[in-house]
Amino acid sequence: MAWSKTRTAAPKSKLGIALNYLKNQWPTLTTYLQDGRIELSNNRAERSIKPFVISRKNFLFANTTNGAQSCAVLFSLIETAKENGLDPCRYLTWVLKEAPKRSASDPNWAQTLTPQNAPTDCR
């Protein structure tokens, strides 16, 4: 997009601020046009975290940093399982059973527990 230098808005005006923001964000804004795999909006991501946002006040253990991090990890695992066509309960059961065994012997144990490595009974 060509930016006209003949017509300008005052830089500190609301329009000037908006136009400057648009100019700075233009490459990012048009990235989805260059790759058809990129979605136009993040609605799917927003919908996937909605249960967490709605329920977070109900989680008594999330009143500390460690509790909040644990909650975020669990929700990430659950939503990742859903996005990969896995049964979240079966996937979490598998991960929680396998993690202690694998962490004792394999330094890359977490990578072996990703959804693509889940057994077929987690589907």
pTM attached to this predicted model: 0.57
* Phi and psi angles of residue 87, each rounded to the nearest 5 degrees, phi first: -80, 115
Residue range 59-90, pLDDT digits in tens? 666 677 787 788 778 888 998 999 899 999 99
| Distance, first Cα to last Cα, the chain | 47
Q: Which amino acid is at 2?
A: A
Domain edges within the chain: 11-40, 43-122
Quote the radius of gyration of the chain (alpha carbons, Å). 22
Copy the structure tokens of residue 106: 């394999």
pLDDT band of residue 49 (cuts 50, 70, 90) is: confident
